[in-house]
Structure formats: C-alpha cells, structure tokens
Amino acid sequence: MRLKDIGEFGLIKRFRDKIKTDNSVVKGSGDDCAVLKLDKDNYQLFTCDMIIEGVDFKKTVDPALVGRKALAISISDISACAGIPRHAVVSLGLPLAMPVSRVDRLAKGLFSLAKKYRINIVGGDISSADKLIIDVSMLGVVEKKNLCLRSGAKTGDIIMVTGSLGGSIKGKHLKFEPRLKEARYLVNNFKINSMIDISDGLLQDLSHILEQSSAGAVMYEKLIPLSREARGVDDALSSGEEFELLLTASRDQANRIIKSSKYRFTPIGEIMPKAFGLRTINYKNEYSRIKSRGFKHF
C-alpha cells in the first residue's frame, strides 16, 4: 500500500490514533494549532507549516514572497484559534547553488512580515537540500475565554466567511494577509462557536468543522462571496490556500457581527444536525449532498 492509496487525511488519522498526551495538552493534533496550558488566564498555541518548492510555490517565484508565505501560513493558523502570534523558529533547506541574493530576499520577506506582526524569530536550523524548503513553527497566546476550536459549532449556528473566495492560485496564496485583526475583533466583541482557516478549500475545511463538532450543514452557493479571480462557484468551494476565516456563531451573534461592518463577514449557511450531512443549495435552489472536495497533498 502506497501513500496515495490512503491519502493525506487517512495518513493523518493513522498518526493521530497513535498519539497519547498528558494533561498539559488542552487540544493536540486535529485543530489549526495545538493548545497547551500556560497560566491562569491564557493558553499557549503551537503550530508548524512546511512549504516546499515545486509543491507550494514555483521555483521562479520571488523568494521574498516565499519567505513571507511561510510565516503567513502559521500566523493564519494562530488567527484561526483567535490567538496572538508571538515567537517562531524557522528551518530552512537550501540548494547549494542558490545565490545569496535570493536567500537575502527570502529573509527580507520573512523578517518584514515578522516585524509587521511583532513576531520574534528566535531560532532556526539550516540544511542543504535539493529544493528550497521552509518550515515555520510558531507559538502564540490566547485568553482561555477567547480560544476558538473547530469543535464548537452548534445546530442553528450561522456559518460565515471573511473576504472572498476562489482563484487563490493566481496570486493570493503568496500575498494574502492573515486574518489576525478580524479574528481578534471577533473574539473581543462577540461569541464565536467555531473557527478554522481555509487552507484546504471551503467545503473541505467546513467538513473539518462538521467532523470535529459532530454536526451537519447547509450552504447556499449564491451567498458565497466570489473573488475577482474565481472561476465560478465550484472554484470558490474547492480553492485551497485562501486563508480566509470560516466561522460559526449563534444567529443572534451572527446578526450583530454582520451588521457591525468593521470588516467583511458574509453569512453563507447554517449548521444542522449531524444526520443532515453537508448539503449545498445551488443557484437553481437544488440540494446536492457533498463529499468533501479540496486540496490534498496525495
């Protein structure tokens, strides 16, 4: 049996089943970040994301964008748990023939974004590699009362999304702004029941929320905010690396959030009982039952 036979999520499940953790761990594998006990009022968040040349970016891309992306992905994970990013370490695999000027560009992209978000780069590891590899591990902090997980969605919750979706591959995946301000605004002013960032695709990431929350959902395709780059609603449903926030809150909270108009939050559906499954309602008002679609590494 090869990896492609069991798939990325099959493999992750295979690992997860082997893991035991002690009571210092509030939430281990299975959310955007691991959640660890920190002090009376706060949890620590811990996440890692690896990007590889030829898989997550093309060899010809400006290394400044690659360095930026590597850090931004982890900031997005911390944001999805409603935390504040604080510290990061960076492992680099560098091809021997890489010009130093390109490494400097990479560092510039990474350090500029770190400075913007006040993240301390506190260490790293450098190795030679055939292709450029960057792995960022990040620590963040979140007030216990503000922690958002995938697992809190409740029947009747309104599903909302930040920004617009689709066509990330045309450039957004390298230039997105992680939704940190939006996430902090949400938890500081409203009660959010569940949240995730859209890295695998809207349908797939919604499926993650539903699975962790033991819930179903209905989603209205005509409500999904399409980006200018989207090739239609199917693209918006499956486009990975959008790094928008997908969240749920009670109808009452959702009304207040949507009216607040400080940032763009668009309601796109509703959480249903688990037995309902995940269904979309298309432009012709037809139901269709969904199996998750989106980006998988294999």
Please report, as residue ranges, which positions from 34 to 93 form the binding site for a copy of itself (by CB under 8 A): 34, 36, 39, 46-52, 54-56, 86-87, 89-93
CB of 274 to a copy of itself, least distance (A): 25
Pick from 13, 58, 59, 125 the residue near a copy of itself by CB under 8 A: 125
Question: In terms of CB distance, is 139 or 196 closer to a copy of itself?
Answer: 139
Pick from 128, 189, 260, 288 the residue near a copy of itself by CB under 8 A: 128
Pick from 124, 225, 267, 277 the residue near a copy of itself by CB under 8 A: 124
Q: Which of 212, 245, 192 is nearest to 76 (CA)?
A: 245
- The beta-strand segments (E) located in 192-236 are 194-197, 216-220
Pick from 72, 84, 132, 133 the residue near a copy of itself by CB under 8 A: 133
Asked whether 274 and 151 are in contact (CB, 8 A), the reply is: no
Binding positions for a copy of itself, 153-212, rule CB under 8 A: none
Binding positions for a copy of itself, 220-279, rule CB under 8 A: none
Pick from 58, 120, 189, 282 the residue near a copy of itself by CB under 8 A: 120
CB of 186 to a copy of itself, least distance (A): 23
Pick from 123, 171, 232, 273 the residue near a copy of itself by CB under 8 A: 123
Asked whether 205 and 246 are in contact (CB, 8 A), the reply is: yes
Matching residue, tokens 């990474």: 110
Binding positions for a copy of itself, 4-33, rule CB under 8 A: 4-6, 8, 11-12, 14-15, 18-22, 24-25, 28-29, 33
Q: Which of 235, 236, 295 is nearest to 55 (CA)?
A: 295
Q: Which residues pair with 15 in a beta bridge?
A: none
CB of 220 to a copy of itself, least distance (A): 32
Question: In terms of CB distance, is 131 or 145 closer to a copy of itself?
Answer: 131
List of long-range contacts for 114-120, beta carbons under 8 Å, 24+ apart: 114/71, 114/88, 117/75, 117/85, 117/178, 117/180, 119/71, 119/75, 119/85, 119/86, 119/87, 119/88, 120/86, 120/87, 120/88
Q: Is 63 left (phi over 0), alpha (psi -120 to 50) or beta?
A: alpha
Question: In terms of CB distance, is 112 or 266 closer to a copy of itself?
Answer: 112
What is the rounded distance in angstroms from the CA atom of residue 285 to the CA atom of residue 94? 51
CB of 15 to a copy of itself, least distance (A): 6
CB of 138 to a copy of itself, least distance (A): 9
Question: In terms of CB distance, is 65 or 217 closer to a copy of itself?
Answer: 65
Task: Report the 10 Å Cβ neighbour count for 261.
Answer: 8
